[in-house]
Structure 1
Amino acid sequence: MIVEARVEHAQIVCEVIRDSITRLCVKDHQNNQCILDAWLSNKTPENCETWIKSQASKSFVVIEDETPIGISIIGNNGYIYLCYMHPEKVGLGFGKQLILACENHATLLGLERLKVDSSLTAKKFYEAQGFVRSGDPFVEDNLRSYPLCKQLNS
């Protein structure tokens, strides 16, 4: 079930994000501890709470057995700031549901497209959801990102 994230989800959501990055995104961080530490540095329960409370974005979580197992955050500008799933729940359709929640929110805001800077690990997932290349890859904090966008039905 997809619901709007609440502050009480912050701790578990933080654990999901950190676990997902550590275990699933090896192609990106290549088990380089410096890169991994930099990527995880702002993934704290306090920051997750701040992101969830933000009026400039909307956060959605996947709830299974009353526990968050995934999260997406979309800015009011249509930018997807993050979308992570618990490593053991990948490939079950929950990520697609999170992106659909972002699409629905963007449509309610009257936006025409979604944007994301994807990791290498997530790139095929986003492309499977209809995202296409929207710029050249770039490197920030030793991580390569792939700018993608998706036109929404108006």
Structure 2
Amino acid sequence: MIIRDATADDAEAACAVLRASISELCLADHRGSPDILARWLANKTPQNVAAWADGRGRSLLVAVEDDVILAVGGLAHPGEITLNYVSPRGRFRGISSALLAELERRAAALGARDVALLSTETAHRFYLARGYADVGVPAGKFGTAASYPMSKTLATAP
């Protein structure tokens, strides 16, 4: 598996990963509600994903294995993780952890001392296990029951 910057040519496949991850893996968040899913997926279009790959104040990364995109991660520069979604076929293989580590490295290289994100219910324990802490009151997003504001201080080089 390699993690690299996404290009506009990755938009269709990356969008499919985002949509499948949300639809199939985030059931604890959307609870099968068509209304919540519609709101959450509304901006997950190939056109938007291509725009997110433009590198202007943000990074869009993809984890690729055998020319197949298995995960998509986003970073608003310098230190806000905006996306970290894995495809159903890539789940429980360490891909999300590797992508998160690369997003954190990118943030540190851009001068961030801390990274922030808004976690789903599904991913909340994942982030807690990787050193993130809750930093605010959970609030619903897209109609979900809870989205967790979280933060982590990045390790500094000796």
User: Taking structure 2 as the reference length, what is the TM-score of the superposition?
Assistant: 0.94
Report what 2:96 is aligned to: 95
For 1:55 and 1:40, how far apart are their aligned partners in 2?
Answer: 23
Q: Point out where structure 1 has 5 or more consecutive residues left out of the alignment.
A: none
Report what 1:149 is aligned to: 151
Instruction: Kindly report structure 1 stretches of 4+ aligned residues shifted beyond 3 Å.
Output: none
For 1:110 and 1:141, how far apart are their aligned partners in 2?
Answer: 31
For 1:4 and 1:96, how far apart are their aligned partners in 2?
Answer: 17
Q: Which moved more, 1:6-15 or 1:138-147?
A: 138-147
Instruction: Render the CA deviation track for 1:22-49: whole Å, top value 9, x for unaligned.
Output: 0000110000101111111110000000
SS, match of residue 74 in structure 1: strand
**1:44 pairs with 2:45:** yes
Q: Which moved more, 1:101-110 or 1:139-148?
A: 139-148
Larger % of helix: which?
1
Q: Point out where structure 2 has 5 or more consecutive residues left out of the alignment.
A: none
- CA drift at 1:67: 1.5
User: Taking structure 1 as the reference length, what is the TM-score of the superposition?
Assistant: 0.96
- CA drift at 1:51: 0.6
- CA drift at 1:145: 0.6
Report what 1:28 is aligned to: 29
Report what 2:132 is aligned to: 131
For 1:81 and 1:46, how far apart are their aligned partners in 2?
Answer: 17
**1:120 pairs with 2:142:** no
For 1:111 and 1:80, how far apart are their aligned partners in 2?
Answer: 11
Amino acid corresponding to residue 151 of structure 2 in structure 1: C
Q: Percent identity?
A: 32
Amino acid corresponding to residue 147 of structure 1 in structure 2: P
- CA drift at 1:109: 1.1
For 1:34 and 1:57, how far apart are their aligned partners in 2?
Answer: 29
Report what 2:111 is aligned to: 110
Q: Which moved more, 1:7-16 or 1:125-134?
A: 125-134
Whether the 8 Å contact between 2:78 and 2:111 is mirrored in structure 1 is no
